[in-house]
Amino acid sequence: MTPSPPPSRSSRSPLPDGLPIPSEDDFTSRLRSPAVAARVGLWLGISFGVCFLTGLISHYAQNGNQPIPFPASPFWGYRVTQGLHVISGTAAIPLLLVKLWAVYPRLFQSMPWGNVRAMAVTGLERLSIAVLVAGGVFMLLTGLLNTAQWYPWSFSFRPTHYAVAWVTIGALVVHIAVKLPVIRDALTGDVEDTTHDRPSAVETGALSRRGLLRTTWAATGIAVLATAGSTVPFLRNVSVLAVRTGDGPQGVPINRSARAAQVTMEEGGAGWTLDVVNGEGVATSWSRSDLEQLTQRTETLPIACVEGWSASAEWTGVRLRDLLDAAGVPTGTDLRMVSLQKRYAFGVTELQGNFADADKTLVALKLNGEDLSLDHGYPARLIAPNRPGVLQTKWLTSVEVI
Ligand SMILES: Nc1nc2c(c(=O)[nH]1)N[C@H]1C(S)=C(S)[C@@H](COP(=O)(O)O)O[C@H]1N2
Ligand SMILES: [Mo]
């Protein structure tokens, strides 16, 4: 079959000739086919879906207002959902690039000028695609930079990433609904099928369609393997691009150091106490050696950082509930965990009653058998099960009843 010559541009669009805007028919590779786009799109859709759901979980877990309390068990739950969030987001990057490449010629599709209804439908569909592409690129880019802890923007990451996620998923649902007949056809048919191809998409190149797909799956696999070690322990040595290797002091990475938080060893020194404060004032006050005299517990719990790494460790200290009992704080009480840190976010966090009461929730004094280093939160830190790392408050100095 020989392709029919593309119609002259002026007959299809009111744009003047000579503008350097290509026409859809200028793209001739038969790899840019719905048969390819649908297969890559399927996995991209799955990645976006997993990313969205795990993102909702993470957002909820960090929310101060929880109509249904986020559960304190299983202790590894948040580590898994956050790991999946980062892995699916990473996988989506090569998938999105190939998908955009495969459908790129559609950007230059001519409008059905003259037919108002058809123009409105096409216009709306294109608007939804524009939102989807912009939103998808925004989500993956901000997510990736977040794992690199690089914030070259002035907006606040979490609310923005969260809001754009809804917009992007909305546009994705519209896109899938509009394309469903083509998607179904493409996925049930052979990958070489040309039914839905543009007439000009006939040129073969260095890669076959199967070759392109295999390359795409390989690139996706490499992207995941190169980074997943920041959260999957046995991949640590293959993950050459992992932002966190898991080899921080005392076997756990550090997100914000004492120096960055402007907390000094003097503040955590002889004069330091951990106070439990209720409505009437300081109910109890313990020095570090007081805490060491109390019953010590050891729990294996992960730090699962919202910025994409996680690491399990053995924490030893006093069960928080024991301290609350001593101070006469009833079960189910929400608390404010206050640290020595005066500047920047996360110096103060909220701990829901069900977390405060959980058996595994500790005021940790030791990490992997040694006294906490200052960077890990000396003299005492919170460590609770199934909790975002950002809320595992270091350098604790008081626990206040809300
Ligand atoms: N006071 C205080 N606690 C904090 C933070 C902080 O900035 N200030 N960072 C949190 C974040 S984002 C993480 S991931 C964990 C990391 O704990 P680590 O440094 O012991 O690994 O501490 C949390 N506790
Ligand atoms: Mo974190």
Token pair, residue 386, equals: 């199934």
* 364 close to 240: Cβ distance less than 8 angstroms: no
* Structural domains of the chain sorted by starting position, each given as residue range(s) with its CATH number in brackets: 24-235 (no CATH), 251-401 (3.90.420.10)
pLDDT in tens, 217-271: 999 999 999 988 888 888 877 777 776 555 678 889 998 999 999 999 888 888 9
Token pair, residue 311, equals: 């690491």
Contacts of 67 (CB under 8 A, 6+ apart): none
Q: Is 394 touching ligand 1 by the criterion CB < 6 Å? A: yes
Token pair, residue 105, equals: 């010629």
Q: Is 392 touching ligand 1 by the criterion CB < 6 Å? A: yes
CA angle 22, 26, 30 (to 5 degrees): 140
pTM for the predicted model, two decimal places: 0.92
- Total residues found in the chain within this entry: 402
Q: Give the residue, out of 256, 305, 371, 395, with the most ligand 1 atoms within 8 A of its beta carbon, to mutate for a pocket test.
A: 256
Ligand 2 centre distance from Cα of residue 63 (Å): 15
Q: What is the pLDDT of residue 229?
A: 85
Q: What is the pLDDT of residue 28?
A: 96
Residue 11 has pLDDT above 50, yes or no: no
Residue type, 257: S
Provide the mean pLDDT of the chain.
92
Q: Is 284 touching ligand 1 by the criterion CB < 6 Å? A: no
Distances (CA, A) of 341 to 241, 257, 349, 394: 31, 11, 11, 9
Residue 107 has pLDDT above 60, yes or no: yes
Q: Which residue has the higher pLDDT, 390 or 6?
A: 390
Q: What is the pLDDT of residue 251?
A: 84
- Partners of 317 in beta bridges: 297, 364
Q: What is the pLDDT of residue 164?
A: 98
Q: Which residue has the higher pLDDT, 6 or 158?
A: 158
Residue 216 has pLDDT above 70, yes or no: yes
Residue 12 has pLDDT above 70, yes or no: no
Ligand 1 centre distance from Cα of residue 153 (Å): 22
Q: What is the mean pLDDT of residues 289-296?
A: 98
* 347 close to 398: Cβ distance less than 8 angstroms: no
Q: Is 9 touching ligand 1 by the criterion CB < 6 Å? A: no
Residue 1 has pLDDT above 80, yes or no: no
Q: Is 305 touching ligand 1 by the criterion CB < 6 Å? A: yes
Q: Which ligand 1 atom minimizes the distance to the CA of 345?
A: 7
Helix (H) or strand (E) holding 50: helix 34-61
Q: Which ligand 1 atom minimizes the distance to the CA of 253?
A: 21
* 344 close to 256: Cβ distance less than 8 angstroms: yes
Q: What is the pLDDT of residue 244?
A: 58
Q: What is the pLDDT of residue 175?
A: 95
Q: How do strand 274-278 and strand 396-401 relate by DSSP bridges?
A: parallel
pLDDT in tens, 350-391: 999 999 999 999 999 999 999 999 999 999 999 999 999 999
Q: Is 172 touching ligand 1 by the criterion CB < 6 Å? A: no
Q: What is the pLDDT of residue 343?
A: 84
State the Cα–Cα distance between residues 357 and 281, nearest whole angstrom: 21
Q: Is 253 touching ligand 1 by the criterion CB < 6 Å? A: yes
Residue with CA closest to ligand 1 atom 15: 389
Q: Is 106 touching ligand 1 by the criterion CB < 6 Å? A: no
Q: Give the residue, out of 394, 396, 398, with the most ligand 1 atoms within 8 A of its beta carbon, to mutate for a pocket test.
A: 394
Give 18's pLDDT tier (boundaries 50, 70, 90): low
Ligand 2 centre distance from Cα of residue 308 (Å): 8
Residue with CA closest to ligand 1 atom 9: 390
Q: Which residues surround ligand 2, an ion (CB under 5 A)?
A: 255, 305, 389-390
Ligand lying nearest the CA atom of residue 381: 1
In our burial notation (b when 16+ CB lie closer than 10 A, e otherwise), range 170-207 reads ebbebbeeebeeebeebeeeebeebebebebbeeeeee
Q: Is 395 touching ligand 1 by the criterion CB < 6 Å? A: yes
pLDDT in tens, 45-103: 999 999 999 999 999 999 988 999 999 999 999 999 999 999 999 999 999 999 999 99
Q: What is the pLDDT of residue 15?
A: 58
Give 9's pLDDT tier (boundaries 50, 70, 90): very low
Ligand 2 centre distance from Cα of residue 389 (Å): 5
Token pair, residue 126, equals: 């294109």
Ligand lying nearest the CA atom of residue 146: 2
Percent of the chain with pLDDT over 70: 94
Q: Is 346 touching ligand 1 by the criterion CB < 6 Å? A: yes
